[in-house]
Structure 1
Amino acid sequence: MGVNYFREHLEQAIEVPIAEAPLGGGVTLYNITVFGGAVPLITTSYAAFGRAQYAFTRDFKLFAGLRYTRDKKSIVQYNNFINGGALQSSTSKWDRLTYELGASYAFSPTLDGYLKYSTGFKGGGYSAGTLAPSFRPETNANYEAGLKGNFFNRALQANLATFYMKYDDLQVNQIVGVSSSVTNAAKATVYGVELETSLRLADALRIEWSGAYLNTSFDRFQTADSSRPTTCDPGTGVGNVPCSIDLSGNALPQSPKYTSSLGGYYDIPTSTGKVTLGARYDWKSRVYFTEFNLPISSQKSVGKLNLFLNYESDNGRLTGSLFVKNVTNEQVKGNVIVVSSIIGSLALGQYQPGRQVGMSVGYHF
């Protein structure tokens, strides 16, 4: 059992300067600021929770958990384009009771299985600078089953998990007009399977592989795309965009359908500790960065190779590492957003680092 209390007073500096904003009809605004300044956002959250397990036999167990969460958020903000830049304050509160129920069974001394059902809650909040009402909390229900085992005299460890989730009021980051805000999508479904393995071929040599299949989709989400105000169903509207788009069936942002990771590690004993040589290759299929699933705001399937040489002393206090990340210098997008048509529907991309070579040294007192 336990309790949790969290309080944060955040001064969020927000500014969206626009050097050149085409408004159509040959009219262009220069050197304007949509909104700016330090926006105070105060968050208070507390919770009480407990978890228990009962063993009916040595092999069969039931477990359950319960949590009550209460969140409160307050904000003072302004927007130069709305209400003459007047300050606006707002406070919202949310609370939810979530729980977990499940069972586990030991099929053998080296193989365990489990089933569980759980519910989740993510508090609402504010999109600073937009003057929009608070967005609602996000909730989900998760069904999960899995197996965990050791095989071949514990040389092979393998964990398998499958899951099915239903989301209500899923929180999605969107570009609305000239600012970024959070929108509640109506419903979404996520399901998949994950497999993790670790094979020790010798005392010094270990190989790890993991893979996952993930299927995500919006069940119902009617929204607007500020960068494409005419690509939509006439006669519908969301916010200040005259028509909207049905995104039912689109994949959720940042959710690759396939991922895989393969690594190898070799330990070399020394007179003072241990040196580990390692290599790891991480790959994932195409990722969309926005809910609209546009090719321009996506990263095609890509993999990264990382190499390292680590040292650890016998007492674990002294550590060191030489590493090369992204050995093949792949160009990988970390995010791409397409801004409003008011400022030209520009695609703004952020890239992850290219090849990195470095070292680190640490001492644990």
Structure 2
Amino acid sequence: MLNLRQSLLCAVAAMATPMPAFAQDATDDGDTGHGEIIVTAQKRSQSIQQVPIAISALSSELLDERGISTAAGLQFSVPSTQIGNLLGQTSITIRGVGLNQGAPGVAIHVDGVYQPRPSMGDLLQIDLERVEVLRGPQGTLYGRNANGGAVNFITKAPTNEYEGYLLASYANYDDARVQGMVNVPFNDWLKARVVLDWNRRGDGFVKNVIPGGQDLDRGKTFSGRVRFDMELAPNFDLSLSTTFLDGSGPTQYFVLHNQPTALIVSVNPALAAATYSFKPLETSANDPVNTDRRLSMTAATATWSLGDVTLKSISGYTTLRDDSLADDDGINVSIFPVRRFYDSKSFSQELNAALSLDAVDLVTGLYYLKDSYQHILDYDLLEGVAPLSPAGLPPGSDLVFNVRDYDTSVKAAFADVTVRPVANLSLIAGVRYSEERQKQVQENSISIGNFATILTCPLTTNEAKFTSTTPRFGARYEFSSNVNAYATFSKGYKAGGYNLNACDNRFNPEKLTAYEGGLKTRLLDRTLTLNLSAFYYDYTDLQISQVIGLARFINNAAAATIKGAELEADWQPDDHWSINANATYLDARYDSFSNTDGLDPAAGVQVLDGHRLNEAPKFSGNLGVAYRTAASSHGRFTLRTDVSYRSKYYLREFNGPLDTQNAFALINAGLIWDSPEERFRVRLFVNNLTNKAYIARMDSSDNFGARFISWNTPRQYGIELRSNF
């Protein structure tokens, strides 16, 4: 075994560049007295109360107790957060910032590895140590596309104990899950952790009203992770992990939200006799819907501790392949059967150094990202119905939007320092410089019936370069060990690019300047955590997504202003009760923006000044209450209820009646029994108790004269069994 250890050490030392990874310590939650959580939001371990950022952290215990197993579940535990999924793309919006069908506006990291595709944020969440949600631009330490904030998923590290668990659950909609974990400490320097997860929903959430039609939003996944942690030399640690996911089924979908306009029906009279369903969680789609998805991520984190200095290398290689069929008209007439194909490969490398002294904390580093992406959008109109356009196309036409290659390379250097010149006062300064180069190769074509293919976009190569400098300045003052306040100025940046389905069509970067102040307190003998924050954003060149014709375009809105306030509280008055709550007031409006609504072209160019940003409710809040009985020979029971509220908000910038999601509340409840020795656990649960239907995401197509939506999860109830060993 000693020879193996020496061989591994020599192999690592021989690397010209440490293996892929990005910086995030997978430390355990530090319980310092009343459930205080240790986070690594600033790439060093700190109490969450000492971080001068609006941040929420959910430990593995809280995730299990609340039954949160997807990214969408986080939005009902974190202030100012909206999360929805449409056609497999998970969109996270924080304080009205981040919504986009292109690159994510909220940066997502798994064990420090940046995830460049929006769908990746919902695919790797098994066996988590915690989730950290950072609100506001994180342009200094996180950089790329973190102008809305950052969500960090930290997986569980191997422990020094032989242990494991087996979990099984079953809920209505024939929803079954089996998950297992084994942790093996081979010796004092090598530990391993393996987790596997199988999930299948046999009955679709979205029912098809067409006899024999295909129900949607169902499918199965099989995923897993293997992680090795090694101490290769004194103070030198290496963590290696590989994660995979295979999924299939009609999971990526949308349904029709309104009947096509009279103009569109006049172009294609077949729509007049079509079957429509606008009831929640129903469809009348007749064309096949299915997605085959393959994802893998390999990561390595090497850490060398040298007293007051810690050197770290974080590297990651992630691949995602999606091959899907969809019914893009959502009715029983085959107007838009489509195939979408995505193939993404990305490699990231971060090297950073952290210095920690009595009066100074410093993190500085270099970052590199290489991302390659291919995309095909193919409307294969085989059933003889012309697509909707003023000219129309004959039966058998084929429209192909082909992005043969989209390469992005990012180089960045950053530094962030906190200085304590006098007792209780901390001064904060940081800056990041980023350079991004993009190269897109595309070719679009139309095959009209049996005639020759016409190149609507001949083989074209587009190149762009974007640079950004994003600073952060601020101060933090400790009034006592339980009360501190902070104020910061920061900037965020999201790169521009080229639209995937248009020829040589470029959009600009978006920029955000943020002013934020906050107060963090521990009260009532440290049983109550009460945090407040207020913020003001100057938001320019917002990237707005629209479907024009059959293709998606990203355009830039001129400017918007966002202001608001948040309150987050957690109270544990005794060993039995636990109460958590948060509330947000958000005023997010366009200052200067004019646009044409493809669903109402007769209105011409509309001035949208004063309209509210998408998915930015004025008021939102969450309240959770849990009661735990005393431990006894019969075990312990925990009863938990969570209530979430959202005021009315809009899903398109035009703020029309059909663009509106009215105010709603959701209720989740659960009852947990833990055996006396905590070897067994039984959890009964019901989510969305009142079966409230609300729109998770919305899109629209001027070529169809209609809006398309995805729905939230309906009421689900079931049982979960867990055995620890």
Q: TM-score range by the shorter chain?
A: 0.7 to 0.9
Whose helix fraction is larger, Structure 1's or Structure 2's?
A: 2
Contact 1:218-1:251 within 8 A present in 2 as well: yes
Aligned equivalent of 1:109: 481
How far apart, in 1, do the equivalents of 2:600 and 2:388 lie? 15
Matched, 1:347 2:686: no
Aligned equivalent of 1:21: 387
Matched, 1:150 2:522: yes
Query: Secondary structure of 1:296's match?
Result: helix
Deviations 1:76-101 (A, max 9, x none): 22333684352222121111111100
TM normalised by structure 2 equals: 0.45
Matched, 1:9 2:372: yes
Aligned equivalent of 1:58: 423
Aligned equivalent of 1:201: 573
Query: Secondary structure of 2:526's match?
Result: coil
Aligned equivalent of 1:291: 653
How far apart, in 2, do the equivalents of 1:23 and 1:282 lie? 43
Matched, 1:255 2:627: no
Contact 1:43-1:72 within 8 A present in 2 as well: yes
Alignment match of 2:437 (pick from 72, 96, 99):
72
Query: Secondary structure of 2:653's match?
Result: coil
Contact 2:376-2:400 within 8 A present in 1 as well: no
Aligned equivalent of 2:533: 161
Change over 3 Å in CA distance of 1:162–1:178 after alignment to 2: same
Change over 3 Å in CA distance of 1:86–1:231 after alignment to 2: same
Change over 3 Å in CA distance of 1:321–1:121 after alignment to 2: farther
How far apart, in 2, do the equivalents of 1:131 and 1:317 lie? 60
Matched, 1:136 2:508: yes
How far apart, in 2, do the equivalents of 1:184 and 1:72 lie? 20
1:184 CA drift (Å)? 0.9
Contact 1:256-1:284 within 8 A present in 2 as well: yes
Change over 3 Å in CA distance of 1:321–1:87 after alignment to 2: farther
Instruction: Letter of the 1:70 partner, please give it.
Output: E
Change over 3 Å in CA distance of 1:319–1:187 after alignment to 2: farther
Query: Secondary structure of 2:508's match?
Result: coil
1:157 CA drift (Å)? 1.0
Instruction: Letter of the 2:584 partner, please give it.
Output: A
Alignment match of 2:412 (pick from 47, 62, 67):
47
How far apart, in 1, do the equivalents of 2:371 and 2:635 lie? 43
- Greater Cα shift, 2-11 or 182-191: 2-11
Unaligned ranges ≥5, structure 2: 1-363, 447-453
Query: Secondary structure of 1:129's match?
Result: coil
Q: Percent identity?
A: 28
Contact 1:308-1:324 within 8 A present in 2 as well: yes
Deviations 1:217-257 (A, max 9, x none): 1111122222211112xxxxxxxxxxx22111111111111
Query: Secondary structure of 1:75's match?
Result: strand
Unaligned ranges ≥5, structure 1: 233-243
1:177 CA drift (Å)? 3.0
Change over 3 Å in CA distance of 1:58–1:252 after alignment to 2: same
1:168 CA drift (Å)? 1.3
Give runs of ≥4 in structure 1 deviating > 6 Å. Answer: 270-274, 311-320, 361-365
Instruction: Letter of the 2:531 partner, please give it.
Output: N
1:155 CA drift (Å)? 2.0
- How many residues matched? 351
Query: Secondary structure of 1:230's match?
Result: helix
1:39 CA drift (Å)? 4.2
Instruction: Letter of the 1:146 partner, please give it.
Output: G
Instruction: Letter of the 2:712 partner, please give it.
Output: Q
Matched, 1:180 2:552: yes
Aligned equivalent of 1:35: 400
Matched, 1:190 2:190: no
Contact 2:403-2:441 within 8 A present in 1 as well: no
How far apart, in 2, do the equivalents of 1:212 and 1:41 lie? 39
Contact 1:254-1:287 within 8 A present in 2 as well: yes
How far apart, in 1, do the equivalents of 2:643 and 2:698 lie? 24
How far apart, in 1, do the equivalents of 2:433 and 2:637 lie? 47
Query: Secondary structure of 2:658's match?
Result: helix
Give the structure, 1 or 2, with the largest relative contact order (CA under 8 Å, sep 6 or more): 2
Deviations 1:15-50 (A, max 9, x none): 34565434459x675554443456432222222111
Alignment match of 1:125 (pick from 490, 497, 508):
497
Change over 3 Å in CA distance of 1:313–1:193 after alignment to 2: farther
Instruction: Letter of the 2:480 partner, please give it.
Output: S
Contact 1:61-1:103 within 8 A present in 2 as well: yes
TM normalised by structure 1 equals: 0.86
1:319 CA drift (Å)? 7.5
1:11 CA drift (Å)? 2.2
Aligned equivalent of 2:626: 265
Contact 1:142-1:165 within 8 A present in 2 as well: yes
Contact 2:688-2:716 within 8 A present in 1 as well: yes
Change over 3 Å in CA distance of 1:267–1:41 after alignment to 2: farther
1:174 CA drift (Å)? 1.6
How far apart, in 1, do the equivalents of 2:420 and 2:675 lie? 41
How far apart, in 2, do the equivalents of 1:315 and 1:92 lie? 61
Query: Secondary structure of 2:612's match?
Result: coil
1:320 CA drift (Å)? 7.0
How far apart, in 2, do the equivalents of 1:296 and 1:216 lie? 20
Aligned pairs for 1:239-250 within 5 A: 244-250=605-611
How far apart, in 2, do the equivalents of 1:324 and 1:88 lie? 53
Query: Secondary structure of 2:578's match?
Result: strand
Query: Secondary structure of 1:250's match?
Result: coil
Contact 1:206-1:265 within 8 A present in 2 as well: yes
Aligned equivalent of 1:235: none
Whose strand fraction is larger, Structure 1's or Structure 2's?
A: 1
How far apart, in 2, do the equivalents of 1:90 and 1:364 lie? 55
Instruction: Letter of the 1:127 partner, please give it.
Output: N
Aligned equivalent of 1:238: none
Instruction: Letter of the 1:294 partner, please give it.
Output: G
